[in-house]
Chains A and B, each alone.
Chain A
Amino acid sequence: MQVVIPSFGNKRYLSGFDWVMGVVDHVLKKTTCAGNISQLVFKLDSPVDPETVQSCLCRCIKEFPVLYGRVARDYNLAPYWQVPKKDKGNSLNFDSRRMENSPQHGNAWSFMEEWVNTPFKNENEHSAFHLLNTNGGESYFAMTFDHRLFDARGAESFVHLFQQYLTGDCNSHIGDVRLTASAELSQWADKFRAGKNINRKIIALSKTSMRSLPVTQYCEAKKGFKFSLIGFDSQKTGEIYENAYEDAGYLMVMPYLLSVAIRAMHGLFESRGLSADSYIIPVSVDMRSSQDIKQELFFNYASMFLFQIHVDMLNDKKALINEIKSQMYEQVQSSLPNNILKASLLLRIAPLSLLRKLFLLPFGGKFASFYFSHIGKCSYQYPEFMGAKISNIFHMPRVPTPPGIGIIFNSFDGQLNAVISCLDGLVSDEEIFALENSLRSEI
């Protein structure tokens, strides 16, 4: 497989959405213990030799100097990712642990939360790899990554590429990358028209009061994120997809899961006695075609839907699903996800600190009720990783603050996972427990 990364010399111009990810990184660094970091976790059914993993990773990532780049601005003011020279001697951030040697960690989950809440060592480090061999004979492999450099499916594809590299399935030189992204400094009228449409949408959304959690009270430099995983086995996943078909229609899994998440979150907001009229939920959407995943490995290829759901609609599940489908249809029809991509190109001129303030203006500092994502089919296609059978793959993203809480669905090998990501302290353990139960019953 030949990996083609858009490039030009040693620079790769950033898209508007890459810049938005940069804003989220800036906000998270200012308000919590680390930046816009996410983590892809492989649960394996047998131990893996740490030295083998380390040496293989070391060899593989040397082929990708883009992993050690940093953001810079060109003479034309367009921001770009400055890719260092290949043999600059960047070191691999890899650590391996054994459960019995770390009594301070109660379980594997506490390791994973620690990894994803650990900031990168410097501006040039954007990935870290972890291996945990447990007492029970299982192991966990985690890739912690900078969301400015990878989106969720990009990270899955990167580990897939790594496994290809190990198994010799790569026919061509994997690091032979080309940067071909345009600076996108033309067709300004088109971008401004898209910007006008997005402005109208945001103004329309902001006319109704929004329910959100008081995230700013919990934003402190040392705050991390807590996570909760709800896994569904293949039989239950089959039932869920059948429910999605019955209630929402053919290929309408995302609207169905969003309806489940909204109803579950509604229980949490109701228990807090919040009185606003609606929920606003940004939903990330993958803008790649399925064929492009191998060519679009690094950086972000996502955009967003923006759903607004009035509280009085929450009691009727069928009506809620129809409303979500209808809003999704209208947003595709009006090209909202594409307009976000075009309009965000205009934002690149503004510094991150300014954008941080601008993003909070329309909603009085709230931005959203919660974040939702359905990553869908996993881009990692092997049944095993480094010789160990994979029992599950899931994601642990530090979600933007605000809203400080999100629900992320993904599936691997016919198993659906829901991960709740939440700023530490924003929601109590009892509330998380209730939210988990609510998700299980609603689904």
Chain B
Amino acid sequence: MTVKDIENKLIKGIASITSKDESSIKADVPFHELGIDSLGFVEILVYVEKTFNLRLIDTDLSKKDFETIHSLASFIGKTL
């Protein structure tokens, strides 16, 4: 799966969690600028586990890896 494929899946999930249109979610915008709080972020992590079979809550959630959808997709791509 390419990073772009992962990005698209993440955008789909985040759009559902935040009730936004997929087209309005950009891959290079930080999560906190998408109006996502602790609950929203945990919902995204649960979505990542369901979709990619990766449990990320136990890892150190560094800003670098989780800052944007693109960086999260890259992190998932490397980990898969």
Contact = CB atoms under 8 A, between A and B. Distances in A.
Contacts of B58: 322, 326
30 contacts: A249-B61, A250-B41, A250-B61, A250-B62, A250-B67, A251-B38, A252-B61, A253-B37, A254-B38, A255-B38, A285-B39, A286-B37, A289-B17, A289-B18, A289-B19, A291-B19, A291-B35, A292-B19, A326-B58, A328-B38, A329-B46, A329-B57, A332-B39, A332-B42, A332-B46, A333-B49, A337-B39, A376-B37, A377-B35, A377-B37
Contacts of A291: 18-20, 35
B27 interface: no
Contact of B66 (A250, A292, A376): A250
Contacts of B4: none
Contacts of B41: 250-252
Interface in A294-352: 322, 325-326, 328-329, 332-333, 337
Q: Interface on chain A toward B: helix, strand, loop, or mixed SS?
A: helix
A252 B37 CA distance: 8
A290 interface: yes
Contact of A328 (B17, B42, B60): B42
A8 interface: no
A245 interface: yes
Interface in B18-50: 18-20, 31-32, 35-43, 45-46, 49
State which size class the interface on B falls in: 20 to 34
Residue among A286, A325, A332 having the largest count of chain B Cβ atoms under 10 Å: A332
Contact of B39 (A286, A326, A333): A286
B41 to A, nearest CB: 4
A152 to B, nearest CB: 14
Given A291-B19, A325-B42, 15 more contacts: A250-B41, A250-B63, A252-B38, A289-B19, A290-B36, A291-B20, A291-B35, A292-B19, A325-B57, A326-B57, A329-B57, A333-B46, A333-B49, A374-B38, A376-B37
Q: Which 7 A-B pairs have the closest CB atoms?
A: A249-B61, A290-B35, A289-B19, A254-B38, A251-B41, A329-B57, A250-B61
Contacts of A376: 37
B69 to A, nearest CB: 13
B52 to A, nearest CB: 15
Nearest to B32: A251
A249 B60 contact: yes
Interface residues of A, number: 25
Residue among B36, B45, B67 having the largest count of chain A Cβ atoms under 10 Å: B45
Contacts of B43: 332
Nearest to B24: A291
A290 B18 contact: yes
Contacts of B19: 289, 291-292
A333 B48 CA distance: 11
Contacts of A328: 38-39, 42
Contacts of A325: 42, 57
A291 B67 CA distance: 21
Contacts of A337: 39
Nearest to B67: A250
Interface in B56-79: 57-58, 60-63, 66-67
Contacts of A289: 17-20
Nearest to A292: B19
A196 to B, nearest CB: 21
B23 to A, nearest CB: 14
Interface string A227-258: 00000000000000000010001111111000
Contacts of A254: 37-39
A286 B43 CA distance: 13
Interface string A273-286: 00000000000011
A290 B32 CA distance: 12
Residue among B31, B42, B43, B63 having the largest count of chain A Cβ atoms under 10 Å: B42
A64 B3 CA distance: 50
Contacts of B67: 250
B55 to A, nearest CB: 8
Nearest to B66: A250
B63 A253 contact: no
A192 to B, nearest CB: 24
A374 B39 CA distance: 11
Contacts of A250: 31, 41, 61-63, 66-67
Nearest to A285: B39
A36 to B, nearest CB: 23
A251 B18 contact: no
Contacts of B49: 333
Contacts of B37: 251, 253-254, 286, 376-377
A255 B32 CA distance: 16
A373 B19 CA distance: 23
